[in-house]
Structure 1
Amino acid sequence: MNALRLKVASIAILLLTTVGGCASAGNYKAAPVEPEVLPEYALELELRGEPEYDEDRYEVNLGFELRAEDEFSYNAIVQEIVQEVIYERFDGRKIRETLVLVEAFKLSRVGRTEQGDVVYRLPSFQRDRHYERGYLSVGPMIKTIDVWRVVRFYPGFVEGADWTDLGFAHLPQNRTGSLMTDIPENFNESHQRNHDHRGVVLQDDRQSGKFYSMRYHWWREPTGNRPQATFTFAKYKRPPDEPTWLNTTIDHGTRTSSAGE
């Protein structure tokens, strides 16, 4: 009986050793290495379902896939969101709101392809959801609403963030401090209520970053008919009609913004 127990224990230890060896294949260890040290990789944006919109809201759900020729040292996808909204009244006056948000999603190692590439995605059940609503609640004096949202995304090494269980966090700023989070309390309200803006991007490959964008246009006829709206999601593209502030901010950074929803 004791010999049998010893044999079972030995098998269990062997299994644990084997699993541990797989987890450390290629001596992989997440670390804030210089981007020049990273293996060749491709970062792709995944659209999960078709974008939805109407006269009150829009919604887009995204995922990411990173494929590297060897184990990848960065542990997250960093996103820089810059948004500008312009409300125009029937009397010609305009109201402008802007926001900046730096956020991160943890990367989860999925495995290797037959070609040997190492694949990373967001953790199971995680998604990048862009959702805004409430445009039908604006006052009758509003004639048009224009929303521009531009997002730069790239891999990075994030430390000290207040992650959700699924691996999402708001960050105070990007690595260089050129973009600093400035959002109102009601933007992603549930997350802000339960999590702090903290954490540091110790290293990144921002210079290889890509973009995607959202463009929402809402208008109301003077006759009082129900408002109408159009929406465009552009993968790897920016809006051709970017306002000056947004264009300057996403390209060159800023330390201040006029936050709005």
Structure 2
Amino acid sequence: MAEQLAGLADDRALLGRTSTAERVADILRSRIAEGYFPPGTRLSEDSIGGALGVSRNTLREAFRLLTHERLLVHELNRGVFVRVLTIEDVEDIYRTRALVECAVVRGLGEPPYGLDGLAEAVEEGVRATREGDWKTLGTANIHFHRALVALAGSERTDELMRSVFAELRLAFHVVDDPRRLHEPYLVRNRQILQALAAGDKAEAERLLSGYLGDSLERVVEVYRRRVGDDLDAG
């Protein structure tokens, strides 16, 4: 916990004089997504509030916001914890991804498309693979799909999927072999990018749909092995 709190202290400067619960929630959301606070971690109001230099009321409001986003859970008489996803949660996350991401690709207008964000994410993944940094590869993978969603040009969709992708990171933190999970999808991201660059939306959607189905199957397989079928009941 000391290392995590030191990281939060570094984020304190981001708050400035206009600190709000929303900005605190942004910082905590990012830290949760990056794995500083793994699933099941109890978040101490005193420690985190002190590290960020915010009041207890501000921190509690930030906790409430993140609980609403299903990243945290409040347990009576125990405190606030980073949520441990169930298999049902994982399946719902991927169901949402398929609905939104495939619809974004299907709804694109005439090419050319603004694909710089997708290309940058692919290159980020290439660098991470070269360095054997599988956690960063997972981050690059999420950056690719966030850039894909951004092609819709919808702030509301971007905000919706920001929470979905943050939840997805909670699932990734359970994975015991991140290379096996993430590495195959670098090639598939490049294939989706190439299809879009060629203006072939139908092929891009076909590739994306297959990608999401295979990724779901692999993550659920890991969950059943690491967490257990009893999580199905929540």
Q: Same fold (TM over 0.5)?
A: no
TM range (shorter): under 0.3
Higher gyration radius (CA): 1
Normalized against structure 2, the TM-score is what? 0.26
More helix by share: 2
Larger strand percent: 1
